[in-house]
Chain A
Amino acid sequence: MAELDQVRSVSRRTVLKGLAGTAGLVTVPAIIAACGPGAATTAPSAAAPTTGGESAAPSAAGELTFGSNYSDETPKNAMQAVVDAFTAESGVAVKVNTVDHGTFQDQISSYLQGTPDDTFTWFAGFRMKFFAGQGLATDISDVWANVGSNYSEAFKTASTGDDGKQYFIPFYNYPWVVIYRKSVFTEKGYTIPTTIAEFTALGDKMKTDGLVPMAFGDSDGWPAMGTFDIINMRINGYDYHVGLMAGTEKWSDARTKAVFEQWRTLIPYLQEGALGRTWQDAAQSLLNNDAGMYFLGTFAGEQATDPAVHDDLDFFPFPVFGTQYDSELGIDAPIDGFMVSKAPANPEAAKAFMTFLSTGAAQNIFLESSPNNVAAANDADPSAYTPFQQKMAEIIGNSQKIAQFLDRDTRPDFAGPNGMQGFLQTFLNDPDQDLDAYLGTIQSFWDSLG
């Protein structure tokens, strides 16, 4: 994880510039190629290809299988539309095998060891590296050689395994932000807080107005990870966060303790009873105007089924704490995408599919019905974005450091239900507990994993 470095800052900003300049299709990859300081490996040269995905795959035909965890109705249909577009372009028939996403994740290990589909949906970062490292995925560096110029360096890093080869095609990502309703802020005359002092002052004001300042639900165990990530990145910086996730920094460190001490001061602004509430119910509190703000991934927008309500949603980055890391504006923006299994029956078609998925055109098809994500490819057409998506792209672009999310940045057995999910709930259950003992337990759990 330590290699997710500053390179992304430049390229991320460039993406933003590309978005600002309306017809960014040609310019973006060129600027990136020009600006990417560490891009020696890709080096698509200054004479960048016009668009990243040049449909490089030679003569792919036949049939391809694709394991998908897009099991909810809307994303499932959107994914089918993407697959149909690929079939129309390449003539390869794709057999989609959709599995409920929770089940898919639980069974991924046996799935990949059994007879997996040729291609499958997965997540970037440690979770990708883990399976790549076990030899359960096919190296697709050759695809990257063709499509690499269509991605910023940050995406490439997030797609690269420990051996320096690429195993993953990024499709879209989404930021973790503070979501609010514009109508409420306008009506009550609230302003967007940028520092933690403004934030708590706003929280106090909301309380007097009868609003819960921050909606919160952690019965699933993972939403609280987002809060930990952001406070840690804000007060200790991205590098410390990544070191902690990788085990080079200690949970028993005083800096980690400071995160929980800070979190403790924010508890009075959080919705009570979070441990028994699902994130969906917490999102409803925001949508019903019971709560003023909600810190979650932008997928919270999925809960706003009424388009008018969705249009009323807006968001801002988590406020800064006045530390030396303020300018980093580190953020969790997890990337979802695709991999090729270890022994695909039809490797040519699988790589052609990967190439197709790396194009902005393919990503735009999916995002049409998934307005809570933004495309990963540079040549995705930003004019198709809703204002909500444009804001997401802007916030991700402004962030110099991008993490994936606690459960994607560290080893799965540590992040899992009986690891960090349970530990964070233990903290929320009694925020005033002895933090040294608490963090000591976490550290010894890490150590026991060996």
Chain B
Amino acid sequence: MAATSVAGATPRRRRRLSLLTRRDKLFLGLALGIPAFAHIFLVWIPTLASVALSFTSWNGIGGIENIEFVGIQNYQNLPSYPPFWPALTHNLIWLAVFLFIATPIGIFFAVLLDKDIRGTRFYQSALYLPVVLSLAIIGFIWELMYAPERGFINNVLGTTEQGNLIDWLGNRNINLWAVLVAASWRHIGYIMILYLAGLKSVDPALKEAAAIDGASERQAFFRVVFPVLRPINIVVLVITIIESLRAFDIVYVINRGLNGLELLSVLITNNIVGEASRIGFGSAIAVVLLVISLGPILLYLSRAMRNEPT
């Protein structure tokens, strides 16, 4: 910012820049170069390689000479690939449920817990506990809950007999929702703790001022606290989107992402790992997921960059 004061004096400014010592330049070079190298090597090259592989056919055996270029054939096969459309739909449902149900509930819990109600530590721990568990473990836990004859839920409901059995994880009409309950169970705790941390940082004077001005609790939250927490809101939004798009473990544990639990991430894995992989085809699905992810990422970046100089 100081540069603006000498904006007219170009020669002098140049000389000032050159005042950087050799060590400074070396330091700057390394400080920028290492992350840039890691980023290009670990993010951009694999991404571009995936895109390149999506135009090929390769069973994963042998070297590069066995990779056969097939043009857009993989993409042409995608729409007729039976699990593709279900997987895409399920990813979008997953995103919608997280965005409009799980995340608001998490925020709601955070607001409640911020009130220092009695036993707030206990509730915090209880709600946060699932976040400590990996989604794979959560898959196991809920598999036991939902099991047809031996499961907790069916035994409580008394629906373990042939004829009235509820097949929570096998019935395609309900299993995605059953799994979403399990995934939300974890997601709510995650969002709750993030938001609670944000709420703790809000200056209490703001809320007091709002109360003195006659705002109700609801108005104080939506008109004052929520806008103040804008940075946290963006983090929560981004995390929600990432969590929805990368959902994988829980369905993979339950039934390897089959029978109504198809997700793009599972299709990618099922095509790429395994005995005879279809690496090209799997990469094509990965590219579709990449394009979907780019939407929210670009949206976020453009907003974040535009509001940078504040």
- Asked, given contacts A273-B165, A273-B167, A417-B270, whether A423 binds B82 with beta carbons under 8 Å apart, the answer is yes
The answer to whether B271 and A418 have CB atoms under 8 Å apart is yes
Kindly list chain B residues whose C-beta atoms are within 8 Å of the C-beta of A134: 61-62
Interface residues on B, range: 35 or more
Q: B277 in the interface, Cβ–Cβ < 8 Å? A: yes
Kindly list chain B residues whose C-beta atoms are within 8 Å of the C-beta of A421: 256, 258
Q: A107 in the interface, Cβ–Cβ < 8 Å? A: yes
Kindly list chain A residues whose C-beta atoms are within 8 Å of the C-beta of B262: 422
Q: B80 in the interface, Cβ–Cβ < 8 Å? A: yes
- Asked, given contacts A277-B148, A281-B148, A418-B271, whether A426 binds B82 with beta carbons under 8 Å apart, the answer is yes
Q: Please provide the 4 A-B residue pairs with the shortest distance between their CB atoms, ordered closest to farther.
A: A276-B170, A275-B170, A273-B167, A412-B275
The answer to whether A417 and B61 have CB atoms under 8 Å apart is no
Interface residues of B in 129-169 (CB under 8 A from A): 146-150, 162-163, 165-169
Interface residues of B in 66-114 (CB under 8 A from A): 77, 80-83
Interface residues of A in 272-312 (CB under 8 A from B): 272-277, 281, 284-285, 290
Kindly list chain A residues whose C-beta atoms are within 8 Å of the C-beta of B275: 105-106, 108-109, 127, 130, 412, 416
Interface residues of A in 200-237 (CB under 8 A from B): 212, 219-221
Name the distance in Å between B145's Cβ and chain A's nearest Cβ. 12
Kindly list chain A residues whose C-beta atoms are within 8 Å of the C-beta of B271: 413, 418
Name the distance in Å between A435's Cβ and chain B's nearest Cβ. 15
Kindly list chain A residues whose C-beta atoms are within 8 Å of the C-beta of B124: none
The answer to whether A272 and B167 have CB atoms under 8 Å apart is yes
Interface residues of A in 160-218 (CB under 8 A from B): 212
Which of A212, A271, A422 is within 8 Å of B259, CB to CB? Answer: A422
The answer to whether A109 and B276 have CB atoms under 8 Å apart is yes
Interface residues of A in 348-377 (CB under 8 A from B): none
A positions within 8 Å CB-CB of B: 105-110, 113, 127, 130, 134, 136, 212, 219-221, 271-277, 281, 284-285, 290, 411-413, 416-418, 421-423, 425-426, 429, 441, 444-445, 448-450
Name the distance in Å between A36's Cβ and chain B's nearest Cβ. 32
The answer to whether A106 and B274 have CB atoms under 8 Å apart is yes
Q: State the majority secondary structure of interface residues on B.
A: loop
The answer to whether B162 and A413 have CB atoms under 8 Å apart is no
Distance between Cα atoms of A271 and B255 in the complex (Å): 18
Kindly list chain A residues whose C-beta atoms are within 8 Å of the C-beta of B150: 281, 284
The answer to whether A221 and B60 have CB atoms under 8 Å apart is no
Q: How many Cβ-Cβ contacts under 8 Å join chain A to chain B?
A: 126
Q: B189 in the interface, Cβ–Cβ < 8 Å? A: no
Shortest Cβ distance from B259 into A: residue: A425
Kindly list chain B residues whose C-beta atoms are within 8 Å of the C-beta of A219: 169-170, 254-255, 259
Which of A113, A429, A448 is within 8 Å of B81, CB to CB? Answer: A448
The answer to whether B148 and A417 have CB atoms under 8 Å apart is no
Known contacts A275-B170, A422-B262, then 18 further A-B pairs from the complex at CB < 8 Å, ordered by chain A residue: A107-B273, A109-B275, A212-B162, A221-B258, A273-B167, A274-B170, A275-B169, A276-B167, A276-B168, A277-B148, A277-B149, A413-B277, A416-B270, A417-B258, A426-B259, A448-B77, A448-B81, A450-B57
- Asked, given contacts A221-B255, A273-B148, A275-B171, whether A109 binds B60 with beta carbons under 8 Å apart, the answer is yes
Which of A273, A281, A444 is within 8 Å of B171, CB to CB? Answer: A273
Kindly list chain B residues whose C-beta atoms are within 8 Å of the C-beta of A449: 278
Shortest Cβ distance from A102 into B: residue: B256
Shortest Cβ distance from B80 into A: residue: A444
Q: B233 in the interface, Cβ–Cβ < 8 Å? A: no
Kindly list chain B residues whose C-beta atoms are within 8 Å of the C-beta of A418: 81-83, 258, 267, 270-271
The answer to whether B81 and A445 have CB atoms under 8 Å apart is yes
The answer to whether A276 and B148 have CB atoms under 8 Å apart is yes
Q: B175 in the interface, Cβ–Cβ < 8 Å? A: yes
The answer to whether B82 and A445 have CB atoms under 8 Å apart is yes
Distance between Cα atoms of A444 and B81 in the complex (Å): 9
Shortest Cβ distance from B275 into A: residue: A412
The answer to whether B82 and A277 have CB atoms under 8 Å apart is no
Q: B172 in the interface, Cβ–Cβ < 8 Å? A: yes
Distance between Cα atoms of A445 and B81 in the complex (Å): 7
Name the distance in Å between A417's Cβ and chain B's nearest Cβ. 5
The answer to whether A220 and B167 have CB atoms under 8 Å apart is no
